[in-house]
Amino acid sequence: MDDAFRALADPSRRRLLDRLNERNGQTLRELCEGLATTRQAVSKHLSVLEAANLVTTVRRGREKVHYLNAAPINAIADRWLSRYDRERAATLADLTTALEGQSMQSPTFAYTTYVTTTPQRLWAALIEPAFTRRYWGGIALVSDWQVGSPVLWQDTAADEPRDLGQRVLAAEPYRLLSYSWHGFQAEHAEHFGWSAEELAARRGERRSKVTFQIDPHGPTAVRLTVIHDDFSPDSEMHRAISGQLDGSGGWPELLASLKTLLETGEPMPEPTGAD
């Protein structure tokens, strides 16, 4: 956390984070556009932000794409904001965006965390039903994990797996996994208190996709990067998976539970407190 605060102390680095917040997933060339500074200076600032885990990068061909990483920001919020205060802060942020007329276009969620485990064990945690059930709140993901195959959801061991339209997009064992995401279901409307009309409107969003990239990090750890993108503009699903909706922990909570499970043998306890 100290590294994050030191990195944030520089206004030029804060500006780069603002640009990634406006449009996540940019190359060095794109981030340099319109800035009155050299490419070398921007590259150095990005290196500091990446070292502080505030920016995460993914290789796409010859280019390196930069993403604002939610993990350290979420850790700061967890330390000083209660769940109630975080929801109030998110509401105020949404209000500010609405008043300023800055709707989020094609939002992207990025999250990088480091887990003391092996690539093989992390891969098993992502694809094996018995594993996923332990940190997905009882949900098992069922698939043969071949490209084009469905990713089915099984609510309990006694239930028939459900096809929510998710499909495997890429699967390279111990390195990369990607699949399309589901749309909102009736249980989401019940959980969030939406009317039938609100659910119907949110079902009109295009399907997003999630990608998990696994990289070894030293002899005993792995670097897990999660990129969830291809959302509709001003997407409610993006707010849900990033934990911005009241009652939704999203990827930050789920990935924290995955990390805890792999490192301790037990998933993170369910949150308690005011709901």
Q: What is the CATH number of the domain that holds 153?
A: 3.30.530.20
User: Has residue 87 been placed in a domain?
Assistant: no
> Do 60 and 142 share a domain, yes or no?
no
pLDDT band at 171 (very low <50, low <70, confident <90, very high): very high
Residue 95 has pLDDT above 80, yes or no: no
CA atoms of 181 and 140, how far apart (whole Å): 15
Shared domain for 132 and 222, answered yes or no, is yes
pLDDT at 121 over 90: yes
pLDDT at 209 over 90: yes
89 in any annotated domain:
no
Is residue 167's pLDDT more than 70?
Answer: yes
Instruction: Find the DSSP H helices in the chain.
Output: 2-8, 11-22, 28-32, 39-51, 70-80, 83-100, 119-127, 129-135, 186-192, 196-202, 236-241, 250-264
Q: What is the mean pLDDT of residues 231-253?
A: 88
- Does the structure show a pLDDT above 70 at 77? no
My answer on whether 244 and 171 are in the same domain is yes
Token pair for residue 260? 């805890």
pLDDT digits (tens, 9 = 90+) for 10-58: 999 999 988 888 888 899 999 999 888 899 999 999 999 988 888 989 8
Domain assignment present for 74: no
Total domains, the chain: 2
Mean pLDDT of 165-181: 97
User: Is 41 within a domain?
Assistant: yes
Taking residues 194-201, what's their average pLDDT?
93
pTM of the prediction?
A: 0.78
| Radius of gyration, alpha carbons of the chain | 19
Asked whether the predicted pLDDT for residue 97 surpasses 80, the reply is no
Which of these ranges, 23-37, 61-75, 251-265, has the smallest mean pLDDT?
Answer: 61-75
Q: What does the alpha-carbon distance between residue 34 and residue 20 come to, in Å, rounded to a whole number?
A: 14
DSSP 58: E
Give yes or no for residue 89 having a pLDDT over 50. no
Percent of the chain beyond pLDDT 90? 60
226: domain range?
108-264
The answer on 230 and 116 residing in a single domain is yes
